[in-house]
Amino acid sequence: MQAASQTPRAEQTDLISWGSKAFALLAELGIPPLPEHYTLFYHYAEGKNPQLNEDIDKAMNGRMPFSQHLLKNFYNRYIVAAANDSALHEVTQGTNRLLGEVLRVVGEFGKETSGYNADIDSYLQKMSVDIADHSVQGLIKEIISTTVAMRERGESLHHKLTASKDEIETLKKNLDQLTHESQRDFLTGVYNRKALDKMLAEQFAQQADISVLMLDVDHFKKFNDKFGHLLGDEVLKIVARAITYCVRGKDIVARYGGEEFCVLLPSTPLQGATKVAENIRTTIATRDLKRKDTGESFGSITVSIGIAQVRHSDTAETLLKRADEALYKSKHTGRNRVTAEGE
């Protein structure tokens, strides 16, 4: 037996309960009751996103202490990204609906065109008989009348298609924008992990010869603790810009997670990838970080990089794993260095 749908009163009770729990948690954890914080903990109280609840539970248990940076990260990952997915779905649905309408109108016009052609054939057959009797005037009037009606239907179709075309173009622009945003890391602007996984799978499907760089910012936690998460975010932006500056147009730069980045280098052997990695490393290491308003220097930052080249037996996972192992070696043999697999 199917359960009865929830009554409006019951739904209202749930809303009040979730809202109260959200405010109580904010007060208990000492988190300012800002709108984004309330929204985040309201979704936690609602319990419809297991991954969100798991991450917040870890933070509440002390495994990931709450900070402004962490709350911002959660909000962008679970609230903003979900809103983009919803908007993307709405735009896609709208586009499909309009395309369906265009196809319907075109189909109807096609049927009318077939009917018109059949009418003309019929008139011509009659005309071949009536010509002998010199009585074609009536047939000519019918042909003219049918042709005028067909022209009017054609004009109506043109107007309908023009209106639909304008709306479809608007929806397409929105769809392109949302697709672009859904593939980008909200902080640095480079590709996100989801887009990276998709692009790497495409490279494997094409059996492309690629190398991979795994890059990690050295001592990033210490920098965050010393100067704050806002400056930490600026460091990640600087690193992302430096990597992008050092690669070619067809190369793919993505934020892999936290302070870690990944670069896909199509048609690049290990030796060439090493040169790219060294260029990235030195470009970042020679940057002197300064506060814009006071000119105060924060010193420099460095990165460690690991490199792997695809093998015939590889999967995306095994290729990334070898690059990550090379990165691990760079970090544990002095940092601020590049290590290729096998070294």
Distance of alpha carbon 131 from the chain centroid: 69
DSSP label of 75: I
Same domain, 280 and 205: yes
Q: Could you give phi then psi for residue 336, rounded to 5 degrees?
A: 50, 50
End-to-end CA gap in the chain: 65
**CA–CA distance, 161 with 102 (Å, rounded to integer):** 7
- In sign, the C-alpha dihedral spanning 80, 83, 87, 93 is positive
Q: What is the pLDDT of residues 301-326, one digit of tens each?
A: 999 999 999 999 999 999 999 999 99
The residue among 337, 335, 331 whose CA lies nearest residue 274 is 337
Give the dihedral of Cα atoms 232, 233, 236, 237; nearest 10 deg. Answer: -140
Q: Exactly one of 155, 259, 317, 341 is catalytic; which is it? A: 259
- Residues of the domain holding 131: 84-182
Same domain, 178 and 198: no
**Mean pLDDT across the stretch 76-90?**
67
Same domain, 173 and 235: no
**CA–CA distance, 83 with 92 (Å, rounded to integer):** 14
**CA–CA distance, 31 with 66 (Å, rounded to integer):** 8
> Tokens representing 50?
């297991």
Same domain, 208 and 314: yes
Same domain, 146 and 212: no
Active site (annotated) includes residue 259:
yes
Q: What is the pLDDT of residues 147-203, one digit of tens each?
A: 656 656 656 665 665 666 566 566 566 656 666 667 888 899 999 998 999 999 999
Domain boundary among 66, 96, 114: 66
**CA–CA distance, 25 with 326 (Å, rounded to integer):** 42
∠152-158-163 over CA atoms, to 5°?
130
User: At which residue do the structure tokens 């690193």 appear?
Assistant: 239
Strand 289-290 to 297-299 pairing: antiparallel
Distant-in-sequence, close-in-space partners of 87: CB < 8 Å, separation ≥ 6? 174, 178
Same domain, 335 and 250: yes
Same domain, 330 and 205: yes
Highest mean pLDDT, choosing among 6-20, 57-71, 204-218: 204-218
Same domain, 297 and 201: yes
Q: What pTM did the predictor assign? A: 0.56
**CA–CA distance, 307 with 329 (Å, rounded to integer):** 11
Distant-in-sequence, close-in-space partners of 56: CB < 8 Å, separation ≥ 6? 40, 41, 44, 74
**Mean pLDDT across the stretch 45-62?**
85
The residue among 254, 263, 250, 249 whose CA lies nearest residue 236 is 254
Answer yes or no: is pLDDT of 1 > 50.
no
**CA–CA distance, 70 with 67 (Å, rounded to integer):** 5
Please tell me which residue, 328 or 133, carries the higher pLDDT value. Answer: 328
Same domain, 58 and 90: no
Q: Is residue 228 part of a domain?
A: yes
Q: What total number of domains does the chain contain? A: 3
Q: Is residue 77 part of a domain?
A: no
